[in-house]
Amino acid sequence: MQFIDLRTQFERIEDDVRARIDAVLQSQQFIMGPPVIELEERLAAFAGVRHALSCSSGTDALVIALMALGLEKDDAVFVPAFTFFASAESVTLAGGTPVFVDVDPVTFNLSPSSLGRAVDDTLAAGRLRPRGIMPVDLFGQPADYRAIEEVARAHGLFVIEDAAQGFGGSYHGRTAGSFGTVAATSFFPAKPLGCYGDGGAIFTDDDDLAALIASVRVHGQGADKYDNVRIGLNGRLDSLQAAVLLSKLDLFEQEIAERNRIAAAYTHELEGLLVTPTVPDGLVSTWAQYTLLAKDADERSRILAALKDKGVPTAVYYTTPLHLSTAYAALGYHEGDLPVCEDLSRRAFSLPMHPYLSETDLVLITQTIRECL
């Protein structure tokens, strides 16, 4: 059994992918070729924003967006501590400092009340200047944008949506990837919309910011290609990856619906045995992960061992909350600082999740958990 079955999807789209790749090979336009332009137009339309700029990875999408926002030393960006390392790392790479915030115990997303406290504490300490907030659409579920945007407005902060896992989901009718000043997503192969290598995209409605992002993406180039007007990087998406994404984009909405069907079936079978995921009314998750909570670390270990015995792959996202990661030790956080993130890191685990999970596999997985408990 696969944790994420990309092969079955490939079999479905193989002819189209091969034709699109062949067209790139024929054109020999490997950088910024026609598929990149077409993809950016389709992504912007999908997200409902004016600009979608493709780039080399989800991490680079965040870094480029933050560089374009002009992050400076001693600028604080508020980041949930229960997320993938790249969310915080991008802030550091762009020259700022992440300030870690606790998450909501039900949705696992940035807690607006903890965010408000973190902003107040940062202002009171006076060492860092609050500049921005990075909500993460964890496991595919959009963060609480109404509440977060209120905090942002009150303090004059930008919002950068980390939609690496959430792109394609929605929040009260609005597509994830369209929130904040700017949003970023990842096309890592295992993501709900993934390519066959690394890739990402940046979304914004702001024309000036889009122009800055386009410049930072290519070594800070100016009107003249060889007049570099700012520091940037080589952050473009290849035409070959864009070709793959165009093929997958045709299936994306249907696959999100399938993921939702499978998530509902998991929840139906496991509700009451474990803490099953909660999606608030008005939100649609992409189910980048289907993540449950065991009673404690021991129970999680027992379940993971039982599933492994039956050949079921699982994953634990995330064993270390970012405020306790070695790389950020110098920031001086301690165990107990962000109790919800720490609790989740001991109890959360994820089951196989992809649009092609069979009924037989679903029964094996849920029965194994039931017997184990």
Ligand X SMILES: Cc1ncc(COP(=O)(O)O)c(C=O)c1O
Distance of closest approach, residue 187 Cβ to ligand X, in angstroms = 7
Nearer to ligand X, 57 or 368 (CB): 57
Contact pattern from residue 4 through residue 43 relative to ligand X, giving x for each residue in contact according to CB under 6 A and a dash for the rest: ----------------------------------------
Distance of closest approach, residue 90 Cβ to ligand X, in angstroms = 7
Cross-strand pairs, 54: 201
Distance of closest approach, residue 53 Cβ to ligand X, in angstroms = 15
Told to check if 57 binds ligand X by CB under 6 A, we report yes
Distance of closest approach, residue 165 Cβ to ligand X, in angstroms = 5
Distance of closest approach, residue 94 Cβ to ligand X, in angstroms = 13
Told to check if 289 binds ligand X by CB under 6 A, we report no
Q: Are strands 75-80 and 51-55 parallel, antiparallel or unpaired?
A: unpaired
Distance of closest approach, residue 58 Cβ to ligand X, in angstroms = 2
CB of 16 within 8 A of CB of 226? Answer: no
Task: Tell me which residue has its CB nearest to ligand X.
Answer: 58
Distance of closest approach, residue 51 Cβ to ligand X, in angstroms = 19
Contact pattern from residue 158 through residue 197 relative to ligand X, giving x for each residue in contact according to CB under 6 A and a dash for the rest: ----x-xx--------------------x-x---------
Residues 17, 28: Cα–Cα separation, whole Å: 17
Told to check if 345 binds ligand X by CB under 6 A, we report no
Contact pattern from residue 252 through residue 281 relative to ligand X, giving x for each residue in contact according to CB under 6 A and a dash for the rest: ------------------------------
3-state secondary structure the chain: CCCCCHHHHHHHHHHHHHHHHHHHHHHCCCECCHHHHHHHHHHHHHHCCCEEEEECCHHHHHHHHHHHCCCCCCEEEEEECCCCHHHHHHHHHCCCEEEEECECCCCCCECHHHHHHHHHHHHHHCCCEEEEECCECHHHCCCCHHHHHHHHHHHCCEEEEECCCCCCCEECCEECCCCECEEEEECCCCCCCCCCCCCEEEEECCHHHHHHHHHHHECCECCCCCCECCCCCECCCEHHHHHHHHHHHHHHHHHHHHHHHHHHHHHHHHECCEECCCCCCCEECCCCCEEEECCCHHHHHHHHHHHHHCCCCCECCCCCCHHHCHHHHHHCCCCCCCHHHHHHHHHEEEECCCCCCCHHHHHHHHHHHHHHC
Nearer to ligand X, 122 or 186 (CB): 186
Apex CA 277: angle with CA 119 and CA 198, to 5°? 75
Contact pattern from residue 76 through residue 105 relative to ligand X, giving x for each residue in contact according to CB under 6 A and a dash for the rest: -------xx-xx------------------
Nearer to ligand X, 78 or 368 (CB): 78
Tell me how many residues contact ligand X (CB under 6 A).
Answer: 15
**Which one of 3-11, 12-20, 54-62, 318-326 is the stretch in contact with ligand X (CB under 6 A)?**
54-62
Distance of closest approach, residue 83 Cβ to ligand X, in angstroms = 5
Told to check if 352 binds ligand X by CB under 6 A, we report no
Distance of closest approach, residue 162 Cβ to ligand X, in angstroms = 5
Told to check if 136 binds ligand X by CB under 6 A, we report yes
Residues 31, 241: Cα–Cα separation, whole Å: 10
Told to check if 59 binds ligand X by CB under 6 A, we report yes
Apex CA 58: angle with CA 56 and CA 64, to 5°? 70
| Residue from 75, 102, 144, 198 binding ligand X (CB under 6 A) | 198
**Which one of 13-21, 51-59, 231-239, 299-307 is the stretch in contact with ligand X (CB under 6 A)?**
51-59
* Residues found near ligand X in the complex (CB under 6 A): 57-59, 83-84, 86-87, 136, 162, 164-165, 186, 188, 198, 200
